[in-house]
């Protein structure tokens, strides 16, 4: 009986504690159920969905510079009326200069094939000073060249010698035509000698010198300049004057002189000058200049012809290879074709105005531009 009485309170306590634990679990379960139910989607709202346009905001990494750099290929081109009319800069005076210096040297020591030690150099300058005001155009060109060569056992000899000054005035007539007038002076710096006849000449053996001869051309006509690389000058009225200021060289038949002691020979005729520049490759250019002159008074069929061609192979900005060829025929001076050819590798430096050509490609990526 005592045992029963002791077990009764224990059973009552156990049943009460178990009921409390079940109540606590139901509360916890109800809290978890509430959270789970709140995360469930409302299936009724999916019957009529609402679509909203959202504006995306991207973060790009394009670098925008204040100055856009466009690659260009510089092409050294002498100034012509066509170039002045197409330059964006509005100025009246334009200047362009080209300088070339070519060296050559040879040295021998115990060389079985033989040879003489030699050293030489050729320097050339080409400057253009032009003026443009509305339809008026003035061009001044100065070309200078001098070269020499010194070889062992021989006296120093010049290999290049010329002075060429031109001044032309043009008036724009429209459609690339210009009224043209001007003059040209051609002569040399130092005395010249015939080394094949006199290997070691003195001053008394000279066959030419400054203004002996000297050529002056002056006339009026028109010019046609449709592009930077092509120009034609035609002067139906042109005077050609040959000066021989050295009394030793004033002999009949020399440089077209008609009598001994004559210092000036005058001719009146027509002159045509053609300039054409051909771009063979990216850095290979061929400049051609062809000149014709016909004397109205004496034998107009005997046309004087002069050609000057220069092949310029540009290795880099300062170093280039120059190959030049000059041909001339003047029946009054010598009834044979005159020829002069030079080849050299040297330094070239340009200053002043230059025509530029933008690099064009068929498929180009346009730059992203913003301000």
pTM here is 0.69
What's the DSSP call for residue 205? G
- Specify whether the CB–CB gap between 292 and 271 falls below 8 A: yes
Give the model confidence (pLDDT) of 256-313 as tens digits: 899 999 999 999 999 999 999 998 988 899 999 999 999 998 889 999 999 999 898 8
The number of C-alpha atoms within 13 Å of 144 and in the hemisphere containing its C-beta is: 10
Residue 167 has pLDDT above 70, yes or no: yes
Strand partners, 180: 170, 221
Q: How much of the chain, in percent, has pLDDT values that exceed 70?
A: 70
Q: Which two tokens stand for residue 362?
A: 């068929």
Q: Which two tokens stand for residue 49?
A: 């969905």
Q: How far apart are CA 336 and CA 159, in angstroms?
A: 21
- Token pair of 129 as six digits: 């000073």
Q: What is the distance between the alpha carbons of residues 291 and 240, in angstroms, rounded to a whole number?
A: 13
C-beta separation of 82 from 176 below 8 A: yes
Say what percent of the chain tops pLDDT 90: 36
The region that residue 13 occupies, defined by phi over 0 for left and psi between -120 and 50 for alpha, beta otherwise, is: alpha
Confidence of residue 342 (pLDDT cuts 50, 70, 90): confident
Beta bridge partners of 268: 239
Reading the block at residue 24, the tokens are: 């606590």
Contact (CB, 8 A) for 215 and 238: no
Distance separating alpha carbons of residues 312 and 298, to the nearest angstrom: 39
Average pLDDT over residues 100-112: 78
Please report the pLDDT score of residue 179 as a whole number: 93
């Amino acid at each position: 009986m005592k045992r029963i009485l002791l077990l009764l309170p224990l059973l009552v306590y156990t049943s009460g504690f178990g009921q409390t634990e079940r109540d606590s679990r139901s509360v916890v379960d109800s809290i978890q159920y509430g959270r789970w139910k709140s995360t469930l989607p409302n299936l009724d709202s999916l019957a009529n969905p609402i679509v909203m346009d959202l504006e995306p905001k991207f973060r790009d990494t394009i670098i925008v510079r204040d100055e856009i750099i466009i690659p260009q290929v510089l092409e050294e081109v002498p100034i012509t009326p066509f170039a002045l009319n197409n330059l964006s800069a509005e100025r009246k005076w334009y200047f362009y200069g080209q300088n070339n210096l070519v060296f050559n040297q040879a040295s021998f020591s115990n060389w079985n094939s033989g040879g003489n030690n030699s050293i030489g150099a050729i320097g050339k300058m080409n400057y253009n000073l032009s003026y443009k005001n509305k339809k008026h155009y003035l061009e001044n060109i100065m070309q200078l060249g001098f070269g020499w060569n010194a070889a062992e056992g021989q006296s120093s000899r010049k290999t290049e010698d010329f002075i060429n000054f031109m001044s032309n005035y043009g008036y724009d007539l429209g459609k690339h035509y210009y009224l043209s007038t001007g003059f040209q002076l051609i002569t040399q710096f130092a005395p010249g000698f015939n080394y094949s006849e006199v290997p070691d000449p003195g001053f008394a053996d000279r066959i030419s010198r400054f203004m002996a001869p000297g050529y002056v051309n002056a006339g009026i006509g028109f010019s046609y300049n449709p592009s930077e690389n092509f120009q034609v000058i035609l002067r139906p009225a042109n005077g050609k004057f040959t000066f021989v200021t050295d009394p030793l060289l004033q002999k009949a038949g020399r440089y077209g002189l008609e009598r001994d002691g004559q210092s000036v020979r005058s001719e009146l005729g027509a002159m045509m000058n053609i300039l054409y520049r051909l771009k063979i490759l990216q850095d290979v250019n061929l400049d051609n200049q062809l000149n014709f002159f016909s004397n109205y008074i004496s034998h107009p069929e005997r046309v004087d012809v002069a050609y000057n061609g220069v092949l310029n192979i540009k290795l880099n900005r300062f170093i280039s290879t120059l190959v030049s060829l000059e041909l001339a025929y003047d029946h009054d001076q010598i009834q044979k074709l005159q020829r002069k050819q030079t080849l050299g590798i040297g330094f070239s430096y340009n200053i002043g105005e230059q025509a530029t050509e933008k690099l064009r490609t068929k498929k180009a990526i346009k730059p992203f531009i913003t301000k």
